[in-house]
């Protein structure tokens, strides 16, 4: 197989005796419709495929620089050979191509260029992307069903506001509130959270630890005008800390710094001092196989001046 691949590639560099052959320039009018930066979603007609492929190569040096100025006809032969390699999707064969000719077959640029020449590659790629999209939607739907069950509760007293959400936790492994004017002090909110294994706070910074990373967790929040009754039944850990809201926007943020949808601003009395009571369960389940959306949190907030950390369970 490796010999076949190398033979295909060598054909692209074999000079002919009939004189110079066409070498399309990236700046030519023929290449204007195939500037990837402008026409990302444009696909060629059958009669345009070879030109589109050549132009994509000329503009971006899609393949190794040694092929940048070879005649179009040989570049197309090279591309068709690479289409076959890509369609077979044999990792050892692709590795041979990289080692013998010094370029990667399946980069984003190469995939786009080869897709111009070989529609079968695009059909396969689109099918794979659609399958991946469906898998992701199924994961989200399953997580939301689990969270709906885990967060189903009736508070003993009526909160001033409440919300709940299925939250994606990234590599950091935490839920965070970070307000303007937050105080960068030591020990940090994260250090304080590690001390009790649940939650830590400094002015403008609230950190809640999750059992795992790159997973969904179930979060319910409630805000009260005065201290609500303590509930520990059914929870593995319950810890209450003092928190100072620095700008009156006590909202949980995602990895991009955007407000988590479904979780409202808990600073119901604007900036100032609050007590934050965090309930957690499902840590071990979150670390097991199929542990997505197995860990649940209930975060209760109410006005309070105390700075003490109290482990209630």
Q: Are residues 185 and 55 in the same domain?
A: no
On whether residue 82 sits in a domain, the answer given is yes
Q: Are residues 286 and 159 in the same domain?
A: yes
Residue 78 belongs to what H/E stretch?
A: helix 72-88
Task: Read off the DSSP letter of residue 2.
Answer: H
On whether residue 260 sits in a domain, the answer given is yes
Cα 289 from chain centroid (whole Å): 21
Q: What are phi and psi of 265, to 5 degrees?
A: -70, 120
Q: Are residues 84 and 203 in the same domain?
A: no
SS3 at position 292: coil
Quickly tell me which residue has 């967790």 as its tokens: 217
Residue of 307, 280, 281, 156 whose CA lies nearest to 229: 156
Q: Are residues 75 and 169 in the same domain?
A: no
Q: Are residues 100 and 16 in the same domain?
A: yes
Q: CA–CA separation, 279 vs 230, rounded Å? A: 10
- pLDDT, one tens digit per residue, over 234-286 is 999 999 999 999 999 999 999 888 999 999 999 999 999 999 999 999 999 99
Assess whether pLDDT exceeds 60 at residue 15.
Answer: no
Which of 93, 117, 141 finishes a domain? Answer: 117
On whether residue 130 sits in a domain, the answer given is no
CATH at residue 187? 2.60.34.30
On whether residue 33 sits in a domain, the answer given is yes
Please state the domain count of the chain.
2
Q: Are residues 281 and 160 in the same domain?
A: yes
Task: Read off the DSSP letter of residue 30.
Answer: G
On whether residue 141 sits in a domain, the answer given is no
On whether residue 140 sits in a domain, the answer given is no
Q: Are residues 164 and 268 in the same domain?
A: yes
Assess whether pLDDT exceeds 50 at residue 19.
Answer: yes
Q: Are residues 102 and 6 in the same domain?
A: yes
- pLDDT, one tens digit per residue, over 99-144 is 776 666 667 777 788 889 999 988 988 999 999 999 999 999 999 9
On whether residue 138 sits in a domain, the answer given is no
- pLDDT, one tens digit per residue, over 190-218 is 999 999 999 999 999 999 999 999 999 99
Assess whether pLDDT exceeds 70 at residue 12.
Answer: no
- Could you tell me the residue range of the domain that residue 92 belongs to? 2-117
SS3 at position 8: helix
Q: What is the dihedral of CA 30, 33, 34, 35, to 10 degrees?
A: 110
Q: Are residues 96 and 237 in the same domain?
A: no
Q: Are residues 31 and 160 in the same domain?
A: no
Structure tokens at 46: 């059958």
Q: CA–CA separation, 156 vs 190, rounded Å? A: 31
Q: Are residues 164 and 270 in the same domain?
A: yes
On whether residue 212 sits in a domain, the answer given is yes
Task: Give me the chain's average pLDDT, please.
Answer: 88
Q: Are residues 270 and 186 in the same domain?
A: yes
């Amino acid at each position: 197989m490796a010999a076949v691949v190398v033979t295909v590639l060598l054909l692209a560099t074999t000079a002919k005796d009939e004189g110079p052959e066409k070498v399309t320039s990236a700046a030519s009018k023929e290449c204007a419709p195939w500037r990837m930066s402008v026409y990302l979603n444009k696909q060629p007609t059958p009669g345009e495929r070879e030109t589109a492929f050549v132009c994509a190569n000329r503009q971006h040096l899609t393949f190794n620089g040694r092929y940048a100025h070879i005649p179009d006809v040989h570049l197309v032969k090279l591309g068709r050979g690479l289409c076959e390699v890509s369609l077979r999707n044999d990792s050892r064969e692709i590795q041979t191509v990289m080692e013998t000719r010094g370029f990667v077959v399946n980069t984003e640029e190469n995939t786009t260029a080869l897709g111009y020449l070989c529609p079968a590659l695009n059909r396969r790629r689109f099918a794979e992307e659609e399958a991946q999209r469906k898998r992701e939607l199924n994961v989200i739907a399953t997580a939301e069903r689990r969270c709906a069950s885990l967060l189903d509760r009736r508070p003993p007293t009526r909160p001033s506001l409440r919300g709940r959400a299925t939250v994606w936790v990234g590599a950091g492994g935490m839920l965070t509130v970070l307000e303007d004017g937050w105080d960068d002090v030591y020990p940090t909110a994260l250090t304080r959270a590690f001390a009790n294994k649940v939650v830590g706070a400094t002015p403008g910074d609230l950190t809640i630890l999750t059992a795992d990373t790159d997973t969904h967790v179930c979060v319910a929040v409630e805000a009260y005008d005065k201290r609500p009754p303590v509930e520990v039944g059914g929870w593995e850990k319950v810890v209450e800390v003092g928190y100072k809201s620095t700008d009156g926007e006590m909202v949980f943020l995602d990895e991009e710094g955007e407000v988590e949808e479904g979780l409202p601003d808990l600073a119901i009395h604007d900036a100032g001092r609050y007590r934050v009571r965090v309930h957690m369960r499902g840590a071990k389940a979150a670390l097991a196989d199929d542990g997505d959306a197995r860990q649940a949190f209930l975060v209760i907030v109410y006005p309070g001046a105390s700075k003490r950390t109290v482990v209630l369970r």
